Structure formats: structure tokens, C-alpha cells
Chains A and B, each alone.
Chain A
Amino acid sequence: MILFWMLLTQLALADLAMAAEIIANSSVGVNSLSLASARSIFGMRQVKWPDDKHIQVFVLADTHPTHIALCKERLNLFPYQLRQSWDRLVYAGMAQAPIEVANEEELVNKVATTPGAIGYVRKVKTNDAIKIIAIQ
């Protein structure tokens, strides 16, 4: 019984530790981003790709485990900090908010069908319309 619980705990921890993958629409001409650029894009401060195309950011709810994984493990931020930084910009008219979707499936669909889109998922399934963006 104890072994079972230890195994379960290990599995749970392994699951939590698995970072979210950053994904983009296949039209995006970028394969990797610096941490600074990724923070700038998800912080809604950088709004265009190097080819001048508009970046459309899709996110999950602040409390979604994949959103928490993106913030903590990819961006080195806490979710509340990202929320505060969006609010400071959005309610002063200085930037637009990311588009929040209900679940990961919808997020993948939106990224796959929106030119210039960026988002994240826990596990990437084979899908020609999206690409994985590495963080350098």
C-alpha cells in the first residue's frame, strides 16, 4: 500500500514537472525563442514576428495546470505576475489581452488555424499545422 502511494506520488510529481511545450502556427518563420522574447510575447509587449506579421497569443485560464507549467517552467514567472502585467497594460489601453480558450484541444485548434498564432500544450500530438518552438 505504501509502495503504491509512493508510486502514485512519484507519478504525480513527474506529471507536474513536465513542462508545457510552446507551439506556433506552421506559418510562423521562427523555430526558437530566447527566454526574453518568450516573456515579451506572452507578456503582450511584443506583438509582431520578425517578418512583421501580427502575433496572436492564445492562453488557458490562470488556474489551468498547463498555464501554471508554462509560467513557472518556461517563463520563470508565477501566473499571478503574468495576470498583473496583462491587467496593467490592458486597463491603461497600452496593449491588448491574449485570447483565453477553454481547454488544450481548443487551444491547439486555434493555433493551427490562426496565422501568426502562438500558444502552449502539455503534450504535442502529431499535427502538421503547428510547430514546436524551443526556448534557448
Chain B
Amino acid sequence: MRSRSLQYSKALAPLGLALCVGFAQAQELGHGVQAHGFVSQSVIHTSDNHVGGSGEDSLGWDLREMGVNLSWRPTPDWLISGQALARWAGESDKGDLRLDYGFVDRTLFSDGDSQVGLRLGKIKNPYGFYNTTRDVAHTRPGIIMPQSIYLDQIRNFFLAAPGLSLYGNSENNVGNLSWQISVLRPEVDDPSLEYVFLANDQAGHFKGKNSWLSQAMFDMGGTWRMGLSLGEMNMAYHPSLLGEIEIAGSHRLPTWVLSLEHNTEDWSFTVEYGQTKVDATGYRLFNQNATTEAGYVQATRRMGNNWQGYLRHDVLYYDNNDRDGTAFAGSALPLMLGLPAHSRFAKDWVFGVRHDIEHIALSAEWHHVDGTAWLAQSDNPRAGLIRQWDMLLLQAAWRF
């Protein structure tokens, strides 16, 4: 109870600041300083399984996010930016206030149509179309992200990290080419990370190791957008002092995503496909080596009067050589833990509508899912996982 009130009091800080700044409409604070922010709240009903605090007979209210950012451009060549974020998502995210990003950006070269610059600090990782702004409801392609590419269970690992980033931008009459290459040390504080990579919650902890991520995105006047994200994320597992020496080891995760989007006035068609190799070494008990395969297609129709509807099919396989999960479920540790085969895949049909009223977006989204791969294990006891399930989400979001 005490921790709950602490969480809410922590959340009041960004909310208070967001409301003060937002209602005053003071996005431009003078002297090159700007403030922006966002708040969203969702309500979830699930037929089976648990998402955001939903239960058999109760609605889930634990899907909530709020953030506020400040940026300062003292001269055209310098930009200093930072964002505070609090997020709630069932047991896996409890609303702790954290620094989402905070960096210094220096333009090194600029000749009108081309720029090259350097960013230093905690930087958002470009990965696919949506990773950098995945917590801002207005920028997402639906209420929840396509979980195949943007798996919430390991979101912090991929979201932002301290590091150094070289970026560039080049504009011509055909379109705009933007690119970025970052060296970083990934953050490994996701409670779900051990469930995903070590099959269970362990007593020790992961530690981020030197990694790199890059992205090139070509935007043909907005009509076609295409991109490649490429990198390798690394981390090592440090066992607790109370034993566990048998599971010390490290993970190497080479990853890539191809992104393609076609836009017309009324329609957007988006497809993203990616693979991540999970290369675990040194673990005596559970060396999981597999290639994760992820992809989705989405069609969005803008219907006028700020209404839009969308249809998405999203597919995730943790192992492309064991798509139905039977080989995994039959192996020693998963068998001992009682992990079902359907915890290794998820095929999700999504239908949603969204209505925008100035700075407010109201959305409703229905999911029919075959598989439980992206459900947070901290919210879902293994024995109770149901393979086929449905989910209805409603969301209200505001931003300034």
C-alpha cells in the first residue's frame, strides 16, 4: 500500500508539470526553450490471460503513460533535450519516474540541404518506424505497438541508452535520406528480460555490454518511406552471490528490421519485418540459441472528420526453426518450468478505430490472438496461460 501511494506521488511530478505547462499553452517558453508532453490512459478487457491488470471478471486500468520534455536551442548548431517518463503496465512497469532521454546535439556540418551532427548522452534508439516515440500514444500505429517488432517485454533494452551517435540528413527533390549510427551500452532493467532470455525470473542481473545500432531511412516526399535498421546488442548475466554459478553467461543479439510504408491522402500501408539472432554462450543450464522472426502488415484508412480505422496482422516466432514451440516445450528446463509450446509464438489480428479532437485522441482496438509469446510472464502464471484469447482496449490520450 505504501509503495502504491509512493508510485502515485512520483507520478504527480510529471503530471503536474505537464498540466501547468500544457494548460498555459506555453510550449514556447522563450530564449529557445520549448516544452511538450503527453498523457494516456487505457482500459483493457481480456477474455483470458492478463494485460495491464485485467482479470477474468475485472477490467484492467494499469496501462498508463505520461511524459514531459524540455528542449533548448541556444544557437542553431546546439540542441539540448531531455524527457521524463512514467509508465504503468501491470506488474512489469510500476510508474517509476525515469529519464527517457537526455542528450546534447551538435551540428557539425550544414549546407542547406544536408546536415551532419553528433549526439552525446542518453539517446533514443532508432529501430523500425516507431521505436523512438513508442510511448507517445499519438505517434503509435494503434493503442499497443505491433508486439512482434516492438516487444514490450524487452522495451527498455531497445528503447534508449547512454552512448554516442553520429547522424546525417540529406534532402533532394526525390526525397530525404536520414541515417544514424550509435555506439551504446543497453539498459537492462526490464523485469521481463530474464523471463525472455533465461526462461525464468533469476536472482542475479544482466549488465549491458558495448553494442551498436544503425538506421537508414529514405522518405520520398512522404509517399513512400523505406528503412533498414541494423545492429548488435550485447549483455552479460551476473549471477547473484547466493549461488546460481551455473547460469553465468552472455548474450549476443545481432538484429535487423526492414520497414516499408506507402501513403496516400486516405490510406497508409505499412509492413515491417525483422530477425534477431539470440546467441547465448556460457550458460551451463540454458543456452538458448535461436533466431526470432517478427513482422506485421497494417492498412490504415483516414475517413475524414479526424476518424481513422486500421487493420493489422502481427506475427512473432521466438525460433524460426521451431515456430510451433513444440521442440522448446519438450526440452529440459521449459519442461521443468511448465512453459507451454504456445508461449513461443503469437499471431495477432487487430482492428481499431481512432478519433482525434484537437490534442486529444480517443481509440478503441480489438485483438484476436493465437499464442502467448508476448504476454508479460510476471502478470501471467504459466499454468493459467490460454492459447487463443481476445482483448478489447479503449484509450484516451492527450498531448501538447
Contact = CB atoms under 8 A, between A and B. Distances in A.
A39 interface: yes
A40 B113 CA distance: 7
Contact of B221 (A52, A77, A92): A77
Contacts, number: 107
Interface stretch (B10-18, B77-85, B191-199, B202-210): B77-85
Contacts of A99: 27-28
A97 B171 contact: no
A132 to B, nearest CB: 19
A43 B175 CA distance: 12
Nearest to B217: A88
Is chain B's binding surface mostly helix, strand, loop or mixed? strand
B112 A37 contact: yes
B73 interface: yes
Interface in A31-75: 34-37, 39-40, 43, 45-48, 50, 52-55
Interface in B77-131: 77, 79, 81-83, 101-103, 105, 107, 110, 112-113, 115, 119, 124
Interface in A74-106: 76-78, 80-82, 84-85, 87-88, 90-97, 99
Interface in B289-346: 302
B69 A36 contact: no
B139 interface: yes
Nearest to A136: B173
A47 B73 contact: yes
A68 to B, nearest CB: 11
| Interface band, chain B | 35 or more
Given A40-B176, A46-B110, A77-B222, A95 B27 contact: no
A29 to B, nearest CB: 13
B132 interface: yes
B281 interface: no
Interface in A1-50: 34-37, 39-40, 43, 45-48, 50
A93 B34 contact: no
B276 interface: no
B5 to A, nearest CB: 29
Is chain A's binding surface mostly helix, strand, loop or mixed? loop
B287 interface: no
B56 interface: no
Given A47-B73, A77-B221, A87-B139, A93 B171 contact: no
A40 B175 CA distance: 10
A93 B110 contact: no
B160 to A, nearest CB: 9
A43 B176 contact: yes
A95 B124 CA distance: 13
B75 interface: yes
Contact of A36 (B71, B113, B115, B138): B113
A55 B79 CA distance: 14
B171 A45 contact: yes
Contact of A93 (B82, B107, B263, B302): B82
A93 B221 contact: no
19 contacts: A34-B113, A36-B113, A36-B176, A37-B112, A40-B113, A45-B176, A46-B110, A46-B113, A47-B107, A48-B110, A54-B75, A76-B221, A85-B222, A87-B138, A93-B71, A95-B79, A96-B71, A99-B27, A99-B28
Chain A to chain B: the 8 pairs with minimum beta-carbon distance, closest first: A93-B81, A81-B222, A48-B76, A92-B132, A36-B171, A91-B133, A92-B124, A40-B171
